[in-house]
Amino acid sequence: MLKIKNLHPIRINNLKRIGRDNDGGYIIPKLVIDKCDGLLSYGINKDWSFEIDFLERKKNINVHCYDHTLDLFSLLKFTFKSILLCFIYFVISDKIRLKKSIYGLSIIKSYFNFFTDSTKHFKKRIWNDNNGNNVTVEATINKIYSEGSKNIFIKMDIEGAEFKVLKKLDYTKVNILGLAIEFHDINLKEKEFNKIIINMKKIFHIAHIHGNNYSKIDGVSKFPSSVEITFINKKLVKGKIKKSEKKYPIEGLDQPNKHSKPDIDLLFN
């Protein structure tokens, strides 16, 4: 059974939404952004709005993105698909989807404009070994360390592989100020998920949680099967720790991943 009580965020001020509307945005404490000097992003697909927004708020930091599915062919395919969808959404007057499809028309230009000297894309898969095209979290941290970044924030959306990589990560050996992780199918991997959360909470507090409304609601826990959790390193939080009294999702801050469906209310009892 999912240990829902362990997911209750602490009370923390000055949370910021980073990234685009709906799917692709994450809630991060401003304190973490202010303190970090490096961003590691695992799983970007065709959306680097989070990384752009983060870099606008904290300039002159190293940004290393890892995604083995992203290449010129996938960008071209996405562009052609966007052309077709723009026509369809214009005809049916779907303004929200039309806006997102218009973004796809300039995706190739956006890619080459964003990924330059200190902002890099590595065509590698985040995994629990360094064989072939795989790379471990530790190896990516060593890489960004070698370029001068010592205080790291991690964003992770790797479609289920998070369970493989997180259970092997030794948080005591690296200076991770915070993480934003999308966990998938937690209702099917309850024991693994519970163990990972317990281990991470030795070093981090949960600063925020949001349910992905693309996912199903578990019949037992009443929790969504996919959740986005933001962690903050305990050394950054001063004073007495109290549980948040906010309702989740937080009005005016959170947004449903799928804009056409209502967001999912989270209860921690």
Identify the pLDDT of residue 95.
Answer: 80
User: Which residues does 249 contact at the CB level (< 8 Å), separation at least 6?
Assistant: 210, 211, 255, 256, 263, 264, 265, 266
Judge residue 216's burial from the number of C-beta atoms within 10 Å of its C-beta, 0-12 exposed, 13-18 middle, 19 or more buried.
Answer: exposed
Identify the pLDDT of residue 91.
Answer: 84
Domains of the chain: 4-70+123-236 (3.40.50)
Query: Mean pLDDT across the stretch 56-84?
Result: 94
Tokens of 38: 């490096």
Residue pair 180/202 in contact (Cβ under 8 Å)? The answer is no
Q: Is the pLDDT of residue 173 over 80?
A: no
For 91-124, write each residue's pLDDT tens digit: 888 888 888 788 888 999 999 999 988 899 999 9
Q: What's the mean per-residue pLDDT of the chain?
A: 94
Residue pair 257/213 in contact (Cβ under 8 Å)? The answer is yes
Query: Mean pLDDT across the stretch 32-48?
Result: 96
Query: Mean pLDDT across the stretch 127-151?
Result: 95
Q: How far is CA 172 from CA 88, 199, 235, in A?
A: 51, 11, 12
Say how far apart CA 117 and CA 64 lie, in whole Å: 10
Say how far apart CA 152 and CA 142 lie, in whole Å: 11
